[in-house]
A and B are shown apart, each in its own frame.
Chain A
Amino acid sequence: MGSYWDFSTVNEISILPALMIAAQYDRARILRPTWRPKAINVHRWEPQVRRFLEEVGFLELCGVRDKTEEMLHYSDVSLLRFRRGETVDGQAVGEYFAQLGIDLGTENPMLYDAITEAITNVINHAYGKEQLNPAQTVKAWWLCAMLKTGQAHKELSIVVYDQGASIPRTLPYSTKYESIKKSLLDLFGIDFDSDDPTNDAKAISCAMRPGASATGESHRGRGLAQIVEVLDLSLGGHLSIYSRQGSVEAKKSPGGSVEISPVNRAMAIIGTAIVWHLVL
């Protein structure tokens, strides 16, 4: 990671890259406590970019402001500063959403289930000890949420992000790896190699099938399905999973089935991000 990044060339930023940037700098600061990322030319940044990076907590990491508000409101958007955790801490999740005025205790329980399952997957699978350099790894999850209230419906965006080994790289550790490999061969004609990112998106889409888990034990493996299930709550909502070079979008069809679209991207990301956009 360089010593500074000039965001004055960025025209617009969304919640996912804002969180990923903040999380990477957060990890760097944990590993090197005396280091502080530099934000330069802040006055020249596009207002939307500055606002997102400020609200998500990045500018505080840079020391541009010592302590920003936990949540700043502007226009019809409320974006919460990210939360980091290293265990499945449902209370922290509940308190986080309460700041947005969302009581997970009265919302459909599928919402809490999906978020905590995503965090459980991070804790159990993202940071395989054989795959990552411990000197550069912080075994954590980062959570961020944004609420748009200006239209007829509320739009809730949630991101759970980790900086782990990625879904495609952890698949060979599964006893269901052979089943996933067979699905890739049968459905797409692909002989999957976890070191080759070319087919990451299709590999993720096969791993999302109910019952496919990273451990292969028969009692595990509903996690990814439950992460998708929350789309039942939301007409017009969708879920995106980004992992290494793969991205998969899942949305409900008018008939109620889940349509999954895998797309491989030119650039890899570190780890895995799960993004829900829900229309409430």
Chain B
Amino acid sequence: MATVINIAKDFSPFPGGRERSDGPHTGQAFREDFLAPALEKGHVTLVLDGVMGLPSSFFEEALGGLVRTRFTLRQLRELLTIEAKTARMSLYPARGWDFIERAAMHPPSPGPLKKSA
């Protein structure tokens, strides 16, 4: 089954923030509620046009988070197409793949250190 997800139309034209607690339209919410479930069913074409922008916290969590949680880089190369037809968003598909590849290269590290008293 092939799915087309348009971030602006299907999720929000105002994406921002990484984790759900950050705000109403975060990368984690988009990944968990839209992108990952669609990828479980088959190929997804992710359309970037129409958003105000794609802040790195949002975009990295949405795409890099796929690798950290459920999918391999190889699976995503087969299952995901990232598309931008407007000149305004033309740089973002490559940036998205960069986030995915970096996440595949760098598995999560331990959490932040606590400052000593």
Residues on A lying within 8 angstroms of B by beta carbon are 87-91, 93-94, 104-106, 108-113, 116-117, 119-120, 123-124, 130, 172-175, 177, 194, 214-220, 222-223, 225-226
Identify which of B13, B17, B61, B115 contacts A87 (C-beta below 8 A). Answer: B17
Pair B115/A116 contact, Cβ less than 8 Å: no
20 A-B interface contacts by CB (under 8 A): A87-B22, A88-B57, A90-B25, A94-B13, A94-B14, A106-B88, A111-B53, A112-B55, A116-B17, A120-B17, A173-B114, A217-B109, A217-B111, A217-B112, A219-B60, A219-B99, A219-B103, A222-B60, A223-B57, A226-B56
Shortest A41–chain B CB gap in Å is 41
Pair B53/A177 contact, Cβ less than 8 Å: no
Identify which of A90, A173, A218, A220 contacts B52 (C-beta below 8 A). Answer: A90
Asked if B54 lies at the interface with its beta carbon under 8 angstroms from chain A, I say yes
Shortest A162–chain B CB gap in Å is 14
Chain B neighbourhood of A226, CB < 8 A: 55-56
> For the complex, what is the distance from the CA of A87 to the CA of B92, rounded to whole Å?
24
Nearest residue, chain B, Cβ from A215: B112
Pair B23/A88 contact, Cβ less than 8 Å: yes
Nearest residue, chain A, Cβ from B13: A105
Chain A neighbourhood of B103, CB < 8 A: 219
Q: Given A90-B16, A120-B16, A120-B18: A219 and B112 within 8 A (CB)?
A: no
Chain B neighbourhood of A177, CB < 8 A: 113
Chain A proximity mask over B11-29: 1 for CB below 8 Å, otherwise 0 = 0111111100011111000
